[in-house]
Structure 1
Amino acid sequence: MKKVLLRIVLIVLLSSSMHAYAQFRKYSNEFLNIGAGARGLGMGGAQVASVSDGNAGYWNPAGLVHIKDNPVVNFMHAEYFSGIGKYDYGSVAIPLSDKKRTIALSLLRFGVDDIPNTLYLVEPDGSINYNNIRSFSSADYAFLFSYAQSLKQKGNRLFSFGVNAKVIHRNVGTFAKAWGFGLDAGVQMQTKRWKLGIAARDVTTTFNAWSFSFTEEEKEVLYLTDNEIPVKSTELTAPRLVLGAAYDFALGKNFNLLAEANADLTFDGKRNVIVSADPVSIDPRLGIELGYKDLIFVRSGIYNFQRALADGDTLNQKKVWIYQPGLGAGFKLKHIAIDYAFTNLANQSNPLYTHIFSIRLDLVKKEKTKSVKTK
């Protein structure tokens, strides 16, 4: 187990140093950092150590090994900025016959529709013609192909690892599109109470190759309006390492409290986070989940700590720490689970609230009833 963890850390560090000469986009493919599933978002994204359902393909593919008996399907929908941005997530996880390996496919989409295209707003004579405004959509897609396997089980300790191969597609109307490819890897160690996890995202650096397609007429308008005509380019996403630890407290016979802490380590220079350094910055996530008989759950979490100007203090430029809160609830009934999360997209002082719903279905096969023959 120690050798596996050490290899993942080394791969991240070596990949980061090998591409130091290239220009990384600090917030490249940022839509992949939103989260997946109302349970995880209600806990502030603290999931790397404890995730054990179909959403593990996103948080930590090693957690998929806990799906052993039946295929599991997950769906999530959320809308941001009063419905302007729509975020959808779906996955299917299928355990293999030996109950030690699981494969999964996940799909993420973040899109903004009906964006005004004002390229032809101004006529050649300088007059404004609003009838020339058209609309287009911008969408980001990610396809995750996951594989997870148990390493070994010693006593009540379960060791597992998982990998993702992800394909990224981004398009901006008919003007631009990009294709990208990257790899993720993760490990977990779980006992009856303790849970530990590591997820290495974009472990080999993720590449997005952009191409642009403007008509000659569009190029002429861009030139006459002093806009730069973009050319083919490559966007790099630097590796990210997420460390997590969780503990499950037993509160009597019917209640249990799961508490988890994660630390996101980025390697692309200083960021506006609690530990801001070059080349490593650290952003913590904290989450708790109170469960009753494994049927009803209440969750809370905080994440995205940043320093920002205090409200109304534009004169002294005093900065304070802000964070994103999250709340959630859910229930599980036989082979279906429904979860809800209430989060703040910006921070606790800006009311950009979002309602998130997700559902999980266990695809249980019906048992065949034996017919009794009568003589």
Structure 2
Amino acid sequence: MTRITTCLAVLALTLVPPASAQDNSDLEQGDFNKGGRTAFQFLKIGVGARQAALGEASVATVRDVNAAFWNPAGISGMQGPEASFSYTKWIADTQYVGAAVGGRFGAATTVALSVAALDYGDIPEAVVGPADGRTGSSVSGGNVMVGLHAARTFTDRLSIGVGAKYVHESLADYGTGTFALDVGTTYDIGARGLQLAMSAQNFAGSVRWLDEDSADRQEGYDVPLVFRIGLAGTLAGADGFVGAPAGHSLTASAEAINTNDFSERLHLGLEYTIDDFVALRGGYRLGYDEGQWSLGAGINPEVGGVQMRIDYAYVGYSFLSAPQRLSVSFAL
């Protein structure tokens, strides 16, 4: 037990951002708006319909191949080969897709490969000039992420995972890329289905779009550094805080999130399952101007010996087009 406590304490310290990472001017002004300081914003778009429906309170709930996008330690929940594909109709008619495949290697090690891409589509080109600037041409752009993740189960309760990924962003004739690292942990408390999890994603240096010898002014931009800590548990059902009809279960999750380009926020989620076949979900995110609430559902059919999961999520937006997600997962 002492080893477990020590491991958790060390990892928790690595997930706390150092004070030096924040400018003194920010500290003096208190609640400072840090928006616009980072590139690769697509890294903050949640992958997976189930996770989006739960208000993205997912760091402690996702225990399959989809954990590659949230918490690398979560892939330790895979019992065999798994694959997943997710499609998101994102805002401004952009398309976001993500896929992951992984499996178990030995009794204690799991590995997953992930890929995600955001397509901006065709954007009308405009230049600075006396007229409206429209040239009649279009430009395109997008983002790509490819990652490799590994997790190891140290005890029947503690798992630790790491991930490495390459991310690239392009727009018109400009583009840049960099490597980033993820780290995370999950801990099964052992009662009431309680799971405690933490993750830190996107450790990387700053990036630039222009060549070093370019005469144009250059600005360095950080990658969105995301810290998550969450708790999930069974409210009603087997091993829950209260009883429920046989085959019925209600789970809840809560997650605090901190990024280097925004203030702290809170994610909340609920999932009601019936006979491990039908799931109804809802979530709420505090601290956001858009996309606060979400709803979703899923089914878990078995086809030809393959366990499938089909999930849908709708996220409510007031001023922008509401994103919709569809995910399909397979497990052997």
- Whether TM-score is above 0.5 comes out as yes
Give 1:197-208 correspondences, 5 Å limit.
Answer: 197-202=197-202, 204-208=203-207
Q: Residue 4 and residue 233 in structure 1: after superposition, are their counterparts in 2 closer, same or farther (change >3 A)? A: farther
Establish whether residue 104 from structure 1 lines up as the match of residue 112 from structure 2. yes
- 1:305 is matched with which residue? 287
Which AA in structure 2 matches 1:115? I
Residue pair 1:68, 1:100 contacting (<8 A) in 2 also: no
Give 1:149-188 correspondences, 5 Å limit.
Answer: 149-153=152-156, 158-173=157-172, 175-188=173-186
Distance 2:62 2:168 in 1: 26
Using structure 2 for the length normalisation, give the TM-score: 0.83
Residue pair 2:272, 2:280 contacting (<8 A) in 1 also: yes
- Residue 211 of structure 1 aligns to a residue whose secondary structure is coil
Give 1:188-337 correspondences, 5 Å limit.
Answer: 188-190=186-188, 191=190, 193-202=193-202, 204-211=203-210, 230-237=216-223, 239-248=225-234, 249-250=236-237, 251-267=244-260, 271=262, 281-306=263-288, 324-334=292-302, 335-337=307-309
Using structure 1 for the length normalisation, give the TM-score: 0.74
Establish whether residue 353 from structure 1 lines up as the match of residue 325 from structure 2. no
Distance 2:61 2:77 in 1: 11
Q: Residue 108 and residue 361 in structure 1: after superposition, are their counterparts in 2 closer, same or farther (change >3 A)? A: same
Distance 1:28 1:201 in 2: 14
Q: Residue 129 and residue 119 in structure 1: after superposition, are their counterparts in 2 closer, same or farther (change >3 A)? A: closer
- 1:74 is matched with which residue? 84
Distance 1:212 1:171 in 2: 14
Q: Residue 282 and residue 127 in structure 1: after superposition, are their counterparts in 2 closer, same or farther (change >3 A)? A: closer
Distance 1:254 1:129 in 2: 62
Larger Rg: 1
- Residue 244 of structure 1 aligns to a residue whose secondary structure is strand
Q: Residue 129 and residue 303 in structure 1: after superposition, are their counterparts in 2 closer, same or farther (change >3 A)? A: closer
1:343 to 315, 323, 326: 315
Deviates more, 1:3-12 or 1:134-143: 3-12
Deviation at 1:350, TM superposition (A): 3.5
- Residue 235 of structure 1 aligns to a residue whose secondary structure is coil
- 1:276 is matched with which residue? none
- 2:95 is matched with which residue? 86
Deviation at 1:240, TM superposition (A): 2.9
Residue pair 2:100, 2:114 contacting (<8 A) in 1 also: yes
Residue pair 1:240, 1:267 contacting (<8 A) in 2 also: yes
Residue pair 1:328, 1:340 contacting (<8 A) in 2 also: yes
Deviation at 1:341, TM superposition (A): 0.3
Which AA in structure 2 matches 1:86? Q
2:142 to 139, 143, 158: 139
- 1:316 is matched with which residue? none
Distance 2:315 2:228 in 1: 21
- Residue 74 of structure 2 aligns to a residue whose secondary structure is helix
Which AA in structure 2 matches 1:353? A
Residue pair 1:304, 1:323 contacting (<8 A) in 2 also: no
- Residue 56 of structure 2 aligns to a residue whose secondary structure is coil
Distance 1:85 1:212 in 2: 28
- Residue 40 of structure 1 aligns to a residue whose secondary structure is helix
- 1:118 is matched with which residue? 126
- 1:48 is matched with which residue? 59
Residue pair 2:98, 2:115 contacting (<8 A) in 1 also: yes
Residue pair 1:301, 1:327 contacting (<8 A) in 2 also: yes
Residue pair 1:305, 1:323 contacting (<8 A) in 2 also: no
Which AA in structure 2 matches 1:41? A
Give 1:353-372 correspondences, 5 Å limit.
Answer: 353-362=322-331, 364=332
Residue pair 2:283, 2:294 contacting (<8 A) in 1 also: yes
1:30 to 8, 28, 41: 41
Deviation at 1:189, TM superposition (A): 1.0
- Residue 220 of structure 2 aligns to a residue whose secondary structure is strand
Distance 2:251 2:133 in 1: 59
Which AA in structure 1 matches 2:49? A
RMSD value, Cα: 2.9
Distance 1:304 1:237 in 2: 23
Q: Residue 327 and residue 291 in structure 1: after superposition, are their counterparts in 2 closer, same or farther (change >3 A)? A: same
Deviation at 1:265, TM superposition (A): 2.2
Deviation at 1:108, TM superposition (A): 1.3
What whole-Å deviation, never above 9, does each CA across 1:224-259 have from its counterpart, x for those lacking one?
A: xxxxx7455432136332110011131221100110
